[in-house]
Structure 1
Amino acid sequence: MVRVTSDFWVKAYLRRLALADIAAFVTAKGDATAGAVLIKQAPLDGTATLFQRSYDLDGNRVWVTLAAGAEQDVDAAVARQRSFDPDIWVIEVEDRAGRHLLGEDGLRD
């Protein structure tokens, strides 16, 4: 299996979101080679959901929810994650319909 760098994956993800007309911003730039990636999806109603890539029981890469609820609580969860791992990337996706395109073909790794 070929792994891509975090920087390459982030650029591809941002481009895919742009093609779908979904606003997204890198709010914290992590390690270019192997930094973990957090995705904060904000439907612009005061709530948010925080996703991180992880592994399921079969060893497949999946997106898991780290936090969900009031946007300020999700922001606090991001701050906690960054406090012990400053190499984390954080991408904020803003879409009223809640779209984030995670798990679609080409966005797994």
Structure 2
Amino acid sequence: MRLKSNIWVAAYLRRCQVAGAFAAVRRRGAEDAGAVFVKVATLDGKAMLYVPAPQTVYDDSRPIERFFTPMSPEPLPEQAIEDRLVKEIRFDPDAWIVETEDKQGRHFLDLARG
């Protein structure tokens, strides 16, 4: 059983704040199992979007972990990220959106490997 989305998001916000980055919930999703999307704005008109990794990368013996994968290898114009988020919400109205602002583009996420 995975950690509830609302608990994971609260911990992620604290992790960002401890590192000196601003982070906030832009959209609350389903508290128990809503997918979480993380936008990292680099404050230069560009951003990265981190989306939930496919279920195949998860290890059932470590249920509290969540893995993410970047939508693109390089930062994109923020409008492109916003357009993608609109599509994601249309597809999954239970999804969460968390936005982080960090000039260095730090995401504070465990990324999917492979």
TM-score greater than 0.5 by the shorter chain: yes
Q: Which residue of 2 aligns with 1:107?
A: none
Rounded to whole Å, the distance in 1 between the matches of 2:98 and 2:84 is: 14
User: What amino acid sits opposite 2:28 in the alignment?
Assistant: K
**The 10-residue stretch of structure 1 (91-100 or 57-66) with the greater mean CA deviation from structure 2:** 57-66
Quick check: 2:5–2:32 contact (8 Å CA) kept in 1?
yes
Residue identity over aligned pairs, in percent, reads: 38
Residue 43 of structure 1: how far off its partner (Å): 0.3
Rounded to whole Å, the distance in 1 between the matches of 2:41 and 2:57 is: 30
Q: Which residue of 1 aligns with 2:103?
A: 96
Q: Which string of whole-angstrom CA distances, capped at 9 and with x for unpartnered residues, describes residues 8-63 of structure 1? A: 00000001111111101111100000000000011000011111121375545531
With the length of structure 2 as denominator, give the TM-score of the two structures: 0.82
Matches within 5 A, 1:1-109: 2-55=1-54, 58-60=57-59, 62-67=67-72, 68-103=75-110
The 1:53–1:29 alpha-carbon spacing in structure 2 relative to 1, beyond 3 Å, is same
Quick check: 1:35–1:88 contact (8 Å CA) kept in 2?
yes
User: What amino acid sits opposite 1:42 in the alignment?
Assistant: A
Rounded to whole Å, the distance in 2 between the matches of 1:8 and 1:93 is: 17
Q: CA RMSD in A?
A: 1.8
Higher relative contact order by CA 8 Å / sep ≥ 6: 1 or 2? 2
With the length of structure 1 as denominator, give the TM-score of the two structures: 0.85
Higher strand fraction (1 or 2): 1
SS class of match (1:76): helix
Could you list the runs of 5+ residues in structure 1 that have no partner in the other structure?
Answer: 105-109
Residue 100 of structure 1: how far off its partner (Å): 1.3
User: What amino acid sits opposite 2:42 in the alignment?
Assistant: P
